A and B are shown apart, each in its own frame.
Chain A
Amino acid sequence: MKKISHVLVALLLSVALLAGCGGGSGGSAQPSAPPADSSSDSAPSAAPEDAGEQTFRVAYIARAQADSFAAWLANAVREEADKYPNISVDIMDGEASDDKVNSLIENSITNRYDLIIVQPNNGEAQRPYVEQIIAAGIFAITTNARIEGIAGGSSVDADPYMQAAVNAVAALEQVPENANVVVLNGPPGNFHADQRRLSWQTEFFEKRSDVTIVGEQIANWNKDEAMAFMEDWIQANDRIDAIISMNDNMAAGALEAVKDNPKFADILAYGVDGTAEAILLIQEGKMTSTCLQSAYDLAELLLETSNKLLTGQETEINTDIGNPLVTIDNVEQYIEMHKRAGAL
């Protein structure tokens, strides 16, 4: 008796939970679509199917609104979508959780969107769900980072290897002979973190055997962790010539630790992403260079690709945005870009 009742209760609970999740995440798609959406002419409540002209419904599933790049990208996608009268985009927040992203994908399939853009939280975790999208006859685009090798799927991304490589190539010339450098890594296992580090290895360290790595740690993309590492490193090392960081946030943290220290006034610093903070540091002459991963460029390409797929011009597209190197010489145009994005 006891066992049966336990099983029953467990079953009931799981059904209720499933229903709750479904309802919850379905509902959360709406509120997480930010206010800008409702002011545009494509309010989701005004059912677009009934309109005379064909309107395509696109679901954009962001990795996490909490991630500042992901948030920028989501905003850029929303802005860009306004340029396409035939496309309405609903933006959803994956809350940095595989589970959440996956259930948002399932819901979007159920709601019969015409195209679903997925910014994966973890490519391998989302792979089977993206395959479901295609199996359901819906267009799928993966972006930042792409999920490789999905038959029938499209992708728009930046190439992390190239993003680091443009910095590494510049560094080959700039880093002095027999230099001491420190390296700041992203979380191990992260595709971008690993690819960028690999790029530095191949494009720089293997060609400059004179350079010594006096400190290398994982700072998890975080400014505060990078700052603490750098504070300790400058105690142990009298000379550090360059900071090689896998993203801008960590580079900025390391620079924060040496900013008033005359011994390190000429330190070189490399990052990736082109965040507003890094752009400002380059303008001030504190940071050497970064590679811009432009959310605007990504958004532009995403919408262009979406349009091509939806209007039947093509059926499968895999494309990358450019990898512009930002240095003190061209920094002004990127300052303008960030001002437009509201980050400055």
Chain B
Amino acid sequence: MEQTIKLRVSQIEKSFPGVKALDKIDFTVKKGSVHVLCGENGAGKSTLMKIINGVYQPDKGQIYVDENPVKIHNPMQARNLGISMIFQEMNYVPEMTVEENIFLGRLPVNKLGKVDWKHVRKYTIELLKEENLPYPPDLPLKDLTVSDIQMLEIIKAISCKSDIIIMDEPTSAITQKEVEKLFEKIAALKARGVCIIYISHKLDEIFKIADEITVFRDGAVVSSHPVGETDIETVIADMVGRKISNDYPKEDIPIGENLLEVENLENRGVFRDVNFHLRGGEILGFAGLMGAGRTEVMRCVFGLDPINAGEIKLKGRKVSVKNVRESIANGVVMLSEDRRRYGIIPVRSVKENASLASLEKIIGKGFLNAKKEHSVVNELFKRMRVKTPTMETAIEALSGGNQQKVILSKWMMRNPVVLILDEPTRGIDIGAKYEIYKLMSEMAREGKGIIMVSSELPELIGMCDRIYVMSQGKITGEIQREDFSQERIMYYATGTKERRAVNN
């Protein structure tokens, strides 16, 4: 079938001080197709998308929309050309409401410049109904989860009537159900002639929706094929420039004594009667759908949220967890799912971020021991394989995977007993993911207990010794490694109601 070309970029070049980010890029997207971009972080695909969206200006080259040469100076102009972009790391205003967000930058006004809120409200309600989203239009964004907000961004792009939609890892924070809904949406958009540029690391999902796949590496296009002419192994090989093992680096480690025991834990209105235990050398998984209460349980165990009932035992002794400081002192640390909010201090250096939880180790007798700090952090960074230009680089300038490894380094500096990792691989590239898995195995080998909360079943199944499944604020199942299967996990995760329905 002959398809017309909607978007074409030709010989695009872009340099940042000291590095050529894009080198002579040629790239076309056909009308009504899904074009997937793959490549490790830093390969240049985000830079290209930002050029198409008007955030950056290319040094050389030309963009054509409908084969007409265009210059795109800013995202507003891009939107007028029918281009919308959904960013991977969303910067949203927490106080902004759903409807304000949907109409951001294009609020309808009457002749006097007064906003037509009636129209906004009506339109938003219709849109939310259409998409089956159960929240009111005046709800502030801060009351939504990451996945809700991401869904909202997608809806917003659709509502802009764009015919080129760029999605930068849209599924990194949403559940399987929502992913399927998204794919249905994408299919519907395709049928309407909209073309979609889709950036993702999840190779299995790529092959479900892609019409064409283009792989970037080091600022250049290394391959571009229709989906029928390539396979997962080829794409991976193109991305990393070498063959990579798709297996999980799971090691066989003898499981030790109980480290952490949680009994009848309750946070009123969120979860209750939560009982679980974690043993030395064990990697313990927590599965469940979004909103099942996994993160909330971990926040309580870590002292970020108050405990209403129940107790926590560490190595058999009951411990008090009134706040994070106590928890850290006990040797329990947690890597948050929301790295931007609870993980990094964006403007500070990687070094400062790494030593933040261990200040007493590097500042003794009134003076900062800069040398010691440098060597301790440097050693950790080597072990964690952190890639940073200098120790003084602001952490916000690093890729997501490297930021995650800096935060991991921060916790490793405390030499913890129990390590809670909440979605540790969200939004980071394959290479970095693999390294984080390897680090988890290393830590387990040292006898630490590791809890991994994840929405990606393959990684839970690949890495864990045991998995608890949560649904609606309760633990609904416990599965041993030999019994792992995606079906079993989903069975418990979809909750008691459906199970009863099955029994009936």
Contact = CB atoms under 8 A, between A and B. Distances in A.
Nearest to B121: A2
A214 B166 CA distance: 67
B300 to A, nearest CB: 38
A259 B259 CA distance: 76
5 contacts: A2-B117, A2-B118, A2-B121, A3-B117, A3-B118
Contacts of B118: 2-3
A84 B117 CA distance: 65
A122 to B, nearest CB: 34
Interface string A1-30: 011000000000000000000000000000
Q: Lowest 5 A-B CB distances belong to which pairs?
A: A2-B117, A3-B117, A2-B121, A2-B118, A3-B118
Interface string B106-127: 0000000000011001000000
Interface in B73-123: 117-118, 121
A103 B468 CA distance: 68
Contacts of A2: 117-118, 121
Nearest to B120: A2
Nearest to A6: B117
A2 B118 CA distance: 8
Contacts of A3: 117-118
A321 B237 CA distance: 98
A300 B118 CA distance: 65
Interface in B389-412: none
A64 B121 CA distance: 50
Contacts of B117: 2-3
Contacts, number: 5
How large, as a class, is the contact surface on chain B? under 10
Interface in B285-315: none
Interface in B222-261: none
Contacts of B121: 2
Interface string B161-202: 000000000000000000000000000000000000000000
Nearest to B138: A2
Nearest to A3: B117
Nearest to B117: A2
A262 to B, nearest CB: 47
A258 to B, nearest CB: 44
A2 B121 CA distance: 10
Interface string B51-67: 00000000000000000
A204 to B, nearest CB: 56
A3 B120 CA distance: 13
A3 B121 CA distance: 12
Nearest to A2: B117
A3 B118 CA distance: 9
Interface in A230-245: none
Nearest to B114: A3
B405 to A, nearest CB: 47
B95 to A, nearest CB: 17
A3 B110 CA distance: 15
B114 to A, nearest CB: 10
A299 B118 CA distance: 62
A155 B118 CA distance: 57
A223 to B, nearest CB: 41
A266 to B, nearest CB: 54
A3 B117 CA distance: 8
Interface in A308-344: none
A151 to B, nearest CB: 42
Interface string A121-162: 000000000000000000000000000000000000000000
A33 to B, nearest CB: 45
A2 B117 CA distance: 8
A89 B117 CA distance: 55
Interface in A271-311: none
A10 to B, nearest CB: 15
Interface string B205-220: 0000000000000000
Interface in B116-145: 117-118, 121
A130 B59 CA distance: 69
B311 to A, nearest CB: 47
B73 to A, nearest CB: 36
A3 B115 CA distance: 11
A180 to B, nearest CB: 52
B109 to A, nearest CB: 14
A316 to B, nearest CB: 50
Interface string A182-216: 00000000000000000000000000000000000
A142 B121 CA distance: 56
B108 to A, nearest CB: 15
Interface string A28-43: 0000000000000000
A4 to B, nearest CB: 11
A170 B118 CA distance: 74
A84 B215 CA distance: 97
A36 to B, nearest CB: 51
A131 B461 CA distance: 85
A238 B369 CA distance: 53
A49 B121 CA distance: 61
B123 to A, nearest CB: 14
Interface string A91-125: 00000000000000000000000000000000000
A68 to B, nearest CB: 45
A156 B218 CA distance: 85
B113 to A, nearest CB: 15
B98 to A, nearest CB: 14
A162 B125 CA distance: 73
A54 B118 CA distance: 64
A135 to B, nearest CB: 38
B302 to A, nearest CB: 41
A194 B227 CA distance: 83
B463 to A, nearest CB: 50
